[in-house]
A and B are shown apart, each in its own frame.
Chain A
Amino acid sequence: MSTSNFTRRGVLKTSALAGAGVALPTIFTASSAAAYMNEPKGSTVTLGFNVPQSGPYADEGADELRAYELAVEHLNGGGDGGLMNTFSSKALKGNGILGKKVEYVTGDTQTKSDAARASAKSMIEKDGAVMITGGSSSGVAVAVQALCQEAGVIFMAGLTHSNDTTGKDKKANGFRHFFNSYMSGAALAPVLQKMYGSDRKAYHLTADYNWGYTTEEAVKSSTEAMGWETVNAVKTPLTQTDFSSYIAPVLQSGADVLVLNHYGGNMVNSLTNAVQFGLRDKQVNGKNFEIVVPLYSRLMAKGAGANVKGIFGSTNWHWSLTDEGSKAFVKSFGEKYGFPPSQAAHTCYVQALLYADACERAGTFNPCGVVEALEGFEFDGMGNGKTLYRAEDHQCFKDVLVVKGKENPTSEFDLLEIVEVTPVEQVTYAPDHPQMAGGELGTCNPGA
């Protein structure tokens, strides 16, 4: 217990302190109101590159960061300009964005929503980033996209393949250049029909989380539409490393195609197990047993080694494409880092350039202006042919590549060969397609 005695001296002291306290604010200058969140005031503009630097997708994160550094170099007028030379829009001049030099901050998403949001928040609140981009998983993309919508900055998604990102979790401030599960299914199905016939029994092994579900659904509905039958679809825990107990029942099920809705390390392990079990040498129903991997990446193919030979899958972009844009990108990336870029690097680089270009065309960094410039934007020369940023869901529509594990790879980067470039019309869907339904884009939020 303490007692308080008012003494004359005490009261004087207190009032002197209080007086000083009252006088204090007059020396402060209140910060002037900005028109929108993190309006760049100086001669520079800050972008936030939020990529996984640790955790299961650290390799992809590292490649994304390389691509962003390259993009910043090109935007600021360094290097050979890369895709800026082949890009159909000529608004970018190599003097930064709107004359402001591009600077960047980096963060680690750890492939966890919480960590990704914390890192994105610090970029927005502390470093004053006007745009956040990157990431290598749909959970993170959805989480960060929602954060950017709340905070009033633009989010340019990195590698995220789940339908949800521009489906039920779409946001007005978020944009995705990468393709999605639906497109994978729609692109793969015709090729599979051509190669394996339309009388097949498929067995799905699906990673037990959101991306797995949407991919399974997409592949299932596309293959069933052409006459395949789905025998069974089994969920596998994400943390599973040994899939032998899941592979054994496949043989007894009477199925003759195994679809592995797995990504990253999961896919490397399940494919290796399946091949070791001799599935590919089996004959079922008088047909060769086949394996399909809906989403391929070069880093995964590298992990699975010789097991990927002859296995079909889809991918967003591949460095062996021969259009001008792809060649220009592979050249400047290769010159800087000494090896060809991955599809994650490509999508991130393109996203950075698209954002910069949208700012130039809008004449402002204001998220609402950028959204307006990107919505319905048609462009070419970025390596995927003619591309449209659809206004209804902020998803890019472009050709999708169907690839196959190469039989005779010449190097550790030359693991996939392009089987077919599925034209954009074939993978386009209505914005209210059942696999995408349930979300609302809302309106752009400029923050502040």
Chain B
Amino acid sequence: MLGLDKKDYTLLLIVAGLTMLAPFILNPFPEGSGLAQFNAGYPDLMQRFVIFGIFAIGFNILFGLTGYLSFGHAAFLGVGSYAAIWMMKLLTTNVIPAMVMAVIIAGLFALIVGYVSLRRSGIYFSILTLAFAQMSFAMAYSVLTPLTGGETGLQLKIADARILDGALEAGEQARANLFGLNMSSSYEMSVGSWLFTFNTGYYIAALVMLASFYLAIRIFRSPFGLMLRAVKSNQNRLNYTGLNPRPYTLAAFVISGMYAGLAGGLMVAMDTQVGPERMFWTASGEVVLMTILGGAGTLIGPVLGAGLIKYMENILSKINKDILHQWFAFLPDGLEDFIITLVYPFIGKGWHLTLGIIFMMVVIFLPGGLVEGGQRIAKLFKGKDADEDGAQTKPAE
């Protein structure tokens, strides 16, 4: 189907199923119960899941296939975001032109950065990309303030030009939309004490993510993808056979930059605000973490990694001491305080610590990321032939 073999098609279907049913899957606990704290099925977080999924999928095309570790991918995300918001400010609040422009501008920027950085490989390449990203961040933060809004960033304003849109009615605000369909509109469905939210923006982002995922599978399985793997496994040998790897790596770099731009454009489409922190080096590091955590070089891995990190950032970080006291209220006072002292450093603002520990565990015990974990579990259940019919793909060598 769709030019995919059965295994990949199943994978695509699984991802499609997961994204479409996300409002149910992510809200397993009834409203008002103590565990509702762990529900992640609200529009903003679901949007983040798929947007960072796209970002990580794109990053994985570069890192997973060619082995070139870019430490500056957030720059493309940021550039895409700025391009998108300017389209919305100047042209129309429809998200399509914004996203298209985000991809184009990010692609062009990636072409320039890639052209320079890909002259080196290994750590030098990483440092070069990092330098470009930090430079973009610093410029967006200060010297480019007229263009980027500086620290405060850019937002849609009532007084924006929007030459394609009609004037706003009094009291109306400019909102991101798809041909009049408001991105922030939601349909809420309550079943018993459960509440499920179906958000327009989320479903649009999810469809874009599915398309990106499909494209990534095609790239992975194409002769081009095979060339990229060849670059990763032994670039010297490739040179000796008379092939010039640079056009391939540059193409991969630009494609992955465009993915990042698309993610940036979608972020603006979902939430019409851009700030320069989006390009800070920690944001670049985050996508590296996502990819490695999920499994570099696998198809589904980066999406899982993105989901895990965003879940922890948004859910774990919001558990404060009061909530802990509620949970452990049944214990005697001394013990309650003791347990809370033990647990507290790992939640709330300490979520980074937990993430760090998980990351270390994964790198040490599951070098193939969460995907390898899944495969091992599948093997336990299915015995030897798990490899043949497991839906997961192997990491690239």
Give the contacts of B52-105 with A (CB-CB under 8 A).
none
Contacts of B320 in A (CB 8 A): 106
B380 at the interface (CB under 8 A from A): no
B239 at the interface (CB under 8 A from A): no
In the complex with contacts A31-B188, A106-B318, A169-B152, A125-B197 CB distance below 8 A: yes
User: Residue on B with the closest CB to A141?
Assistant: B152
Query: Out of A1, A106, A114, which one reaches B275, CB within 8 Å?
Result: A114
The segment from B37-45, B119-127, B230-238, B355-363 that touches chain A is: B37-45
CA distance A149 to B271 in the complex (A): 12
**A261, chain B: closest CB distance, angstroms:** 13
Q: Assess the B152–A150 pair: CB atoms within 8 A.
A: no
A-B contact count (CB 8 A): 130
Contacts of A208 in B (CB 8 A): 141-142
Q: Assess the A138–B152 pair: CB atoms within 8 A.
A: yes
Q: Assess the B348–A238 pair: CB atoms within 8 A.
A: no
Q: Assess the B158–A112 pair: CB atoms within 8 A.
A: no
Contacts of B280 in A (CB 8 A): 112
Contacts of B275 in A (CB 8 A): 112-114, 139, 143
**B155, chain A: closest CB distance, angstroms:** 5
Query: Out of A2, A58, A105, A118, which one reaches B314, CB within 8 Å?
Result: A118
**B353, chain A: closest CB distance, angstroms:** 11
Q: Assess the A440–B159 pair: CB atoms within 8 A.
A: yes
Of B48, B171, B173, chain A has the most CB atoms within 10 Å of the CB of: B173
Give the contacts of A30-71 with B (CB-CB under 8 A).
30-31, 53-54, 58
In the complex with contacts A1-B1, A112-B275, A146-B155, A125-B42 CB distance below 8 A: yes
5 pairs of residues in contact across A and B, judged by CB atoms under 8 Å:
A30-B190, A108-B348, A112-B275, A122-B42, A442-B171
Q: Assess the A442–B173 pair: CB atoms within 8 A.
A: yes
**A211, chain B: closest CB distance, angstroms:** 7
In the complex with contacts A53-B348, A125-B44, A209-B141, A142-B271 CB distance below 8 A: no
Q: Assess the A118–B277 pair: CB atoms within 8 A.
A: no
Query: Out of A2, A213, A440, which one reaches B158, CB within 8 Å?
Result: A440
**A425, chain B: closest CB distance, angstroms:** 30
B-contact 0/1 string along A234-251, CB 8 Å cutoff = 010110000000000000
User: Residue on A with the closest CB to B157?
Assistant: A440
Q: Assess the B189–A118 pair: CB atoms within 8 A.
A: no
Q: Assess the A442–B158 pair: CB atoms within 8 A.
A: yes
B305 at the interface (CB under 8 A from A): no
**A184, chain B: closest CB distance, angstroms:** 18
In the complex with contacts A31-B190, A113-B273, A105-B318 CB distance below 8 A: yes
CA distance A392 to B271 in the complex (A): 27
Of A29, A108, A125, A235, chain B has the most CB atoms within 10 Å of the CB of: A125
Q: Assess the A149–B197 pair: CB atoms within 8 A.
A: no
Chain A interface size band reads 35 or more
Contacts of B151 in A (CB 8 A): 137-139, 209-211, 238
A27 at the interface (CB under 8 A from B): yes
Contacts of B277 in A (CB 8 A): 112-115
**B100, chain A: closest CB distance, angstroms:** 23
CA distance A107 to B349 in the complex (A): 9
B-contact 0/1 string along A406-448, CB 8 Å cutoff = 0000000000000000000000000000000001101101000
User: Residue on B with the closest CB to A125?
Assistant: B42
Q: Assess the B191–A143 pair: CB atoms within 8 A.
A: no
Write the residues of chain A forming the contact surface with B, with a CB cutoff of 8 angstroms.
1-2, 27-31, 53-54, 58, 105-108, 112-115, 117-119, 121-122, 125-126, 137-139, 142-143, 146-147, 149-151, 162, 164, 169, 208-211, 213, 235, 237-238, 439-440, 442-443, 445
Contacts of A149 in B (CB 8 A): 173
CA distance A235 to B314 in the complex (A): 35
Q: Assess the A117–B189 pair: CB atoms within 8 A.
A: no
Q: Assess the B9–A2 pair: CB atoms within 8 A.
A: yes
User: Residue on A with the closest CB to B317?
Assistant: A108
B170 at the interface (CB under 8 A from A): yes
In the complex with contacts A114-B275, A122-B42, A29-B190 CB distance below 8 A: yes
Q: Assess the B39–A118 pair: CB atoms within 8 A.
A: no
Give the contacts of B307-339 with A (CB-CB under 8 A).
313-314, 317-318, 320
Q: A107-B318, A118-B313 are in contact. List 5 more A-B contacts (CB 8 A).
A: A113-B275, A114-B277, A122-B314, A125-B42, A151-B184
Contacts of B295 in A (CB 8 A): none
**B151, chain A: closest CB distance, angstroms:** 4
B379 at the interface (CB under 8 A from A): no
User: Residue on B with the closest CB to A211?
Assistant: B151
In the complex with contacts A143-B152, A150-B173, A209-B142, A125-B43 CB distance below 8 A: yes
Q: Assess the B153–A122 pair: CB atoms within 8 A.
A: no
Q: Assess the A28–B314 pair: CB atoms within 8 A.
A: no
